[in-house]
Amino acid sequence: MNKKVKMILDKDFKIGKVDDRIYGSFIEHLGRAVYGGIYEPDHPEADEMGFRKDVIELVKELKVPIVRYPGGNFVSGYNWEDGIGPRELRPKRLELAWRSIETNEIGINEFVEWAKRVNTEVMMAINLGTRGIDAARNIVEYCNMPEGTYWSDLRKSHGYREPHKIKVWNLGNEMDGPWQIGQKTADEYGRLAKEAAKVMKAVDPSIELAVCGSSNSSMPTFGQWEATVLEHTYDYVDYISVHTYYGNEENDIGNFLAKSLDMDEIIKTVIATADYVKGKKRSKKTINISFDEWNVWYHSREADKKIAPWSVAPPLLEDIYTFEDALLVGCMLITLLKHADRVKIACLAQLVNVIAPIMTEKGGKAWRQTIYYPYRHASLYGRGYVLNAVIDTPTYNSKDFCDVPILESTAVADENNNKLTIFAVNRDQQDSLLLESEIRGFEDYRVVEHIVLENENLKATNTKENPFNVVPHNDGNAMIEDGVLKAILPKLSWNVIRLAKRN
């Protein structure tokens, strides 16, 4: 028997405008993300720069607006100068974060060229682990100064006459983590980040900066770290970074799908902390969130322990995603959208091969993992204003969470194109949901499509042999009757209901 849920959507009840960069992603010099992922010069599909054209097409299909680069833990030991100039002169380095050999065949200039091919912007991270203020100002000068200085003219001599105009920069990565090269206390990092920010904005006042928050919410200093760092940097930065990953190690689907509630609490905590510092400083500026690492990550951890160190592009962090992972990714996307007023940038970590929606085979195929689909749907259809949906849904309790809503949902109105999209996950393990939604202010709208991602096997995956094992269909039954949207949401399903105004 179907359980009933009710939702009210009103055109005038808005949370905030979606910043398109909320659908960003991440490419780190880690495993096969770069070498064998986006770049494989010997591949039959390689272009003139060695970039895989099949991967480019899969990335373009996602309409990724921004990609963070080059790390991640990698960046805390990275000398950016190693990746510029003639390739034959670039050094091979021991890469300590992931115990690999870095060839430096790909660096800033090549990555900017790849970003142009996939129609995205670059979010550049700088090294505040082993480097500092001097390297920070120099990299901005190299990338963004038009000409007439040492570093800008050096870029021109490397064949890049026009500046890269990189807008968004990360001030290091996870600097509170004991795994991080150059780990720092909040005061140590806050002071360094402030001074780096000052010189970077002196070189290019138009850039935006994201300062490191805690590596994750289980860190003992979570909250206090953000407060201390922002007290140092508040006047100089624009965003604070947030990171989180989730797994289903206990094979408890109810608890696993509830973990987006933890993500919601993390966001609320960081917002509250940032606003506390704002009040303390009597500032008129609001610091927003760059949620620049998020995903499911747990499948590959044991396999990674068995990989010998010091090889080029070892197969690290190659999670093979299941159908249930796609459901949680959908819930996490909905959570980000619910905070569109403060989450302005987010990066699904990562994009190719490394905990990624896209997988490749060396010399062979590229294919979409299960998580590709909710990410793609949100990016394509989730642009506009997020509505403050009022939802009446049954709940359940799990091992770590109470009052978990069976329906996880939000809606985005694209007023410019007279479109409305509802994203919904049914967490119920036994029953379909009968959704009834009032849609106030959307007269003469009709259902264009009801996309459903469902599968009887929670552990179903997509592989190179069977790349279309888990795919969405558009046979959902959503309809509008007397101004009320009605739809059956199958058990354990991701749903995208698209509406548009009649011509």
Type of residue numbered 366: A
Q: How far is CA 247 from CA 173, 322, 329, 428, in A?
A: 22, 11, 11, 19
* Residue 368 contacts residue 462 (beta carbons within 8 Å): yes
SS3 445: strand
Residue given tokens 């044991």 in the structure block? 302
* Residue 128 contacts residue 193 (beta carbons within 8 Å): yes
Say which residues have a Cβ less than 8 Å from residue 503's Cβ, sequence separation at least 6: none
Select which of 121, 293, 318, 454 is catalytic. 293
What is the DSSP secondary structure assignment for residue 127, as one 8-state letter? -
Say which residues have a Cβ less than 8 Å from residue 250's Cβ, sequence separation at least 6: 399
| Bridge partner residues of 4 (DSSP) | 434
| Bridge partner residues of 498 (DSSP) | 421, 449
For residues 142 and 165, what is the distance between their CA atoms, to the nearest angstrom? 10
Q: How far is CA 198 from CA 143, 201, 214, 326, in A?
A: 17, 5, 22, 41
Q: How far is CA 108 from CA 69, 163, 228, in A?
A: 9, 12, 32
Select which of 141, 174, 226, 318 is catalytic. 174
Number of Cβ atoms within 10 Å of the Cβ of 301: 12
Element (H, E) at 338: helix 323-338
Q: Number of C-alpha atoms within 13 angstroms, CB side, residue 216?
A: 11
Where are any strands of DSSP class E within 415-492?
A: 419-426, 433-440, 445-453, 479-481, 484-489
For residues 370 and 472, what is the distance between their CA atoms, to the nearest angstrom? 9
The β-bridge relationship of strands 419-426 and 479-481 is unpaired
* Residue 338 contacts residue 415 (beta carbons within 8 Å): no
- 174 is an active site residue: yes
Q: Which residues are catalytic?
A: 174, 293
